[in-house]
Amino acid sequence: MAKKTGFISDESYFWHDTGNGALFMPPGGWVESDVHSENPETKRRFKNLVERSGLMDQLTQFKPRKAKTEDILRYHGNEYMKKVEELSDIGSGDAGELALVGKGSYEIALLSAGGALTAVNAVMDGKVDNAYALTRPPGHHAEGDLGMGFCLFNNVAVAGKYAREVLGLDRVLILDWDVHHGNGTESAFYEDPNVLFISLHQELNFPAGRGYAEETGKGKGEGFNVNIPLPAGTGNAGYLHAFEEIVGPIADQFQPQLILISAGQDPSLFDPLGRMMVTSDGFRQIARFMLNIAEKHCGGKFVACHEGGYSSAYVPFCSHAIVEEMSGVHTDVEDPFPGALPDLPVDELFSIQKQYVANAKKVQSKYWDSLNG
């Protein structure tokens, strides 16, 4: 069934300048100048595919508003905001660990966070059923007083705080399927029982020392922080198994009023900064799974915010599949890549993947009744 789906983007997002380099390293020494991993092309090519396929014609487009100071300060510190602004005025710098700032990046980052807020308002006001915010720079690694991992302001955390404190929602579910742990979002809600945060990620990837299953929240928030680390090589079947065994049962008990997704398409088969094996069809399946939870508990209120994903060739197909699933509109686009490597076991569930999920499930079983079996 077709849904009314919002799409939020802005040309400014593609003008955030991370400079040149190789993967995530700046040029110099033995590193020859190349294109930085967090460059505009993965996002721009995704938007191009949405337009060329005709899918954009079926979506409701919104221009993002710029986040206000008070929006950012619900999570980030004032001194950190000033630091990003000063580096942006200078034209270069690092707001933390691998959090590059270019000329004008401060204003673009405010617009990126504002894109998440625009999406939340569009859904909660009933203008659309769900929404995809093609935001850049990404956000989920950004801590309250520190940028990290290409992220300046934490778009999803800002949106979650807004939903709680301004819109008055009692139960917000944030799910992060980026291949890297959503450390900044975890920190934002680690003691908050009104926000259920779930992160599925490749174990021991980035950032170091974060994302362990045993990190379950603190104080009143204990049990409301769910980490599901997965082994390298996990594909469609492994991810869906984790959703069925852990995410679904916990979400059913939490009964969210809004679902926010940190949609990083870097668990994909061809990503240079991850070692997972999810295809565009895998992203379609997990998007459908979460959309069904949204239909069941909160009238379909579902917002996806773009995070990572660094294969400019493949991110467009993965992201396009997600938006097709959100809208219920299917185009003529066919993903040509997995068919070229037909013997890869992307849809096979391996015992090691089952064991990782079982371990995470065991940790959560003390908090969520339906996981006691």
Residues 6+ away with beta carbon under 8 Å from 311: 42, 268, 270, 271, 272
User: How far apart, in Å, are the Cα atoms of 114 and each of 9, 10, 67, 94, 210?
Assistant: 10, 11, 4, 22, 27
Tokens of 160: 């979650």
* Amino acid letter, 85: E
- DSSP 8-state symbol, 151: B
Query: For the chain, where are the E strands, in sequence order?
Result: 5-8, 60-62, 92-94, 96-97, 100-102, 130-133, 147-148, 172-176, 195-202, 225-230, 258-263, 302-306
Rounded Cα–Cα distance for residues 244 and 192 (Å): 24
Q: Based on the residue annotation, tell me whether 141 is a catalytic residue of this protein.
A: yes
Tokens of 18: 């991370």
Written as one string, the DSSP assignment of 239-280 is HHHHIIIIIHHHHHHH--SEEEEEE--TTBTT-TT---BB-H
| Other CB atoms within 10 A of residue 207 CB | 16
| Beta-bridge partners for 198 | 175, 226
Strands 92-94 and 60-62, sheet pairing: unpaired
Task: Give how far the C-alpha of residue 76 lies from the chain's centroid of Cα atoms, to the nearest Å.
Answer: 18
Task: Give how far the C-alpha of residue 221 lies from the chain's centroid of Cα atoms, to the nearest Å.
Answer: 21
Rounded Cα–Cα distance for residues 263 and 273 (Å): 15
Rounded Cα–Cα distance for residues 225 and 340 (Å): 39
Which of 60, 47, 54 is CA-nearest to residue 12? 47
Q: Which of 36, 140, 141, 181 is catalytic?
A: 141
User: How far apart, in Å, are the Cα atoms of 212 and each of 38, 248, 263, 355?
Assistant: 25, 20, 20, 15
> What residues act catalytically?
141
